[in-house]
């Protein structure tokens, strides 16, 4: 255990956690919504500190990040826990702490120093905090990220965007980029399916942009849940209102966890979302988890293919010093 950040102690030995936007009030010997933060006599502890349940070398495109060091590898780690309860989660075995405990997934320990050393020895220019919700193992992620930045590495959050303003501003000096999972544009969806709220996610996307982080956004298109024309247009218009250069990844749903009886997203729905996004003014829109040609980065000015991809792998690049090699258009990203 490690004492948590971002909480206050009350006179009755309850604590108020403000790591994320749930703002849990936690009784003595009780847990927060994430199930990995426990109050012991007025001191809040993180139970997941250093207990790594995944450590892999991934293509950066798997995060997905398409405009951040494309073609590079990212050392990717996760600790148990999430502050959402999404029934469609593809990593539910490790994101839901009670399930992870039952599966004995708490035992693989790594120090921040070991993670940074492994990142460097494998020639990865970045560390991604991913698979589960990095906000929930914030104390560990922050210590790793500080060491990583000292060694010239980049740090990336793959997140649901539900962290508090305080925690986001705290980690900003060592954070380089984020892919935010904008799951829908409906409070009803967030409340019923994620057991959370939409508004803080939108506010944090805006804040991330103001803080200067490189942002990309992913939406899993789930048949009958968030694939309506109006909702897709609302998401696209929101992203465009923040910055039309923010890449939007449209991801195909596959049955999993509690959503195992919902069909795979039809290609028509993905193409509809793509068309809506482009008409809303977004310059960079991608379709993932599907065998399409919509994984390539094309120049918004001349239309030429700048980065050709096959799955998670880059086949060719035609960007030089952040510009299209054909027409010299500026292409936003970290190249």
Please write the tens of the pLDDT for every residue from 204-220: 999 999 999 999 999 99
What was the pLDDT predicted at 104?
62
Strands 25-26 and 126-129: unpaired
Share of the chain above pLDDT 90, in %: 88
Q: H or E stretch including 117?
A: helix 112-121
- Which among 243, 242, 244, 262 has a CA at the least distance from the CA of 252? 262
157 versus 94: the higher-pLDDT residue is 157
Residue 46 tokens, joined: 């993180």
Is the pLDDT score of 187 beyond 60?
A: yes
Q: pLDDT tens across 27-69, in order?
A: 999 999 999 999 999 999 999 899 899 999 999 999 999 999 9
What is the reported pLDDT for 290? Answer: 80
Query: Per-residue pLDDT for 239 more than 70?
Result: yes
pLDDT for residue 311: 87
Confidence category of residue 106, pLDDT binned at 50, 70, 90: low
Tell me the per-residue pLDDT of 248-297, one tens digit each, with 9 for 90 and over: 999 999 998 889 899 999 999 999 999 999 999 999 999 998 877 899 99
At 292 the pLDDT is 75
Domains of the chain and any CATH numbers: 2-46 (no CATH), 52-295 (3.20.20.70)
Q: What mean pLDDT comes out for the span 116-132?
A: 98
Q: Is the pTM of this model over 0.85?
A: yes
Instruction: Give residue 55's Cα distance to chain centre.
Output: 16
Cα–Cα distance for residue pair 294/105, rounded to 1 Å: 36
Residue 252 has what pLDDT? 95
- Of 157 and 89, the structure prediction assigns the larger pLDDT to 157
pLDDT at 291: 73
Percent over 70 (pLDDT), the chain:
97
Angle at 239 between CA 238 and CA 244, to 5 degrees: 125
Q: How far apart are CA 203 and CA 279, in angstroms?
A: 24
Among residues 80, 78, 83, 79, the alpha carbon closest in space to that of 26 is found at 83
Q: What is the average per-residue pLDDT within 3-17?
A: 97
Provide φ and ψ at 202, rounded to 5°: -60, -45
Look at the chain and count its residues.
335
Instruction: Provide Rg for the chain, Cα atoms.
Output: 20
């Amino acid at each position: 255990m490690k004492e948590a950040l971002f909480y206050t102690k009350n006179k009755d030995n309850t604590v108020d956690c403000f790591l994320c936007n749930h703002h849990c009030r936690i009784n003595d010997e009780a847990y927060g919504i994430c199930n990995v933060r426990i109050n012991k006599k007025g001191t809040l502890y993180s139970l997941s500190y250093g207990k790594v349940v995944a450590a892999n070398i991934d293509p950066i495109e798997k995060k997905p990040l398409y405009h951040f060091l494309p073609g590079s590898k990212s050392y990717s780690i996760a600790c148990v826990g999430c502050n959402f309860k999404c029934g469609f989660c593809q990593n539910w075995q490790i994101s839901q702490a009670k399930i992870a405990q039952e599966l004995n997934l708490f035992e693989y320990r790594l120090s921040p120093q070991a993670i940074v050393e492994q990142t460097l020895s494998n020639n990865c220019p970045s560390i991604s905090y991913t698979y589960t919700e990095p906000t929930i193992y914030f104390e560990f992620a922050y210590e790793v990220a500080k060491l990583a930045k000292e060694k010239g590495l980049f740090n990336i959050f793959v997140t649901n965007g539900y962290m508090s303003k305080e925690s986001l501003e705290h980690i900003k000096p060592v954070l380089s980029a984020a892919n935010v999972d904008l799951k829908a544009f409906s409070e009803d969806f967030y409340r019923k399916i994620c057991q959370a709220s939409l508004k803080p996610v939108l506010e944090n996307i805006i804040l991330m942009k103001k803080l200067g982080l490189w942002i990309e956004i992913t939406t899993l298109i789930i048949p009958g849940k968030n694939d309506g024309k109006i909702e897709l247009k609302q998401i696209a218009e929101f992203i465009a209102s923040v910055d039309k250069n923010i890449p939007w990844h449209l991801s195909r749903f596959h049955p999993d966890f509690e959503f195992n009886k919902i069909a795979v997203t039809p290609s028509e729905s993905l193409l509809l979302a793509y068309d809506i996004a482009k008409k809303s003014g977004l310059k960079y829109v991608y379709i993932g988890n599907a065998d399409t040609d919509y994984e390539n980065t094309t120049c918004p000015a001349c239309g030429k293919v700048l980065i050709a991809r096959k799955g998670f792998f880059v086949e060719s690049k035609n960007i030089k010093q952040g510009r299209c090699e054909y027409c010299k258009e500026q292409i936003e990203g970290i190249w």
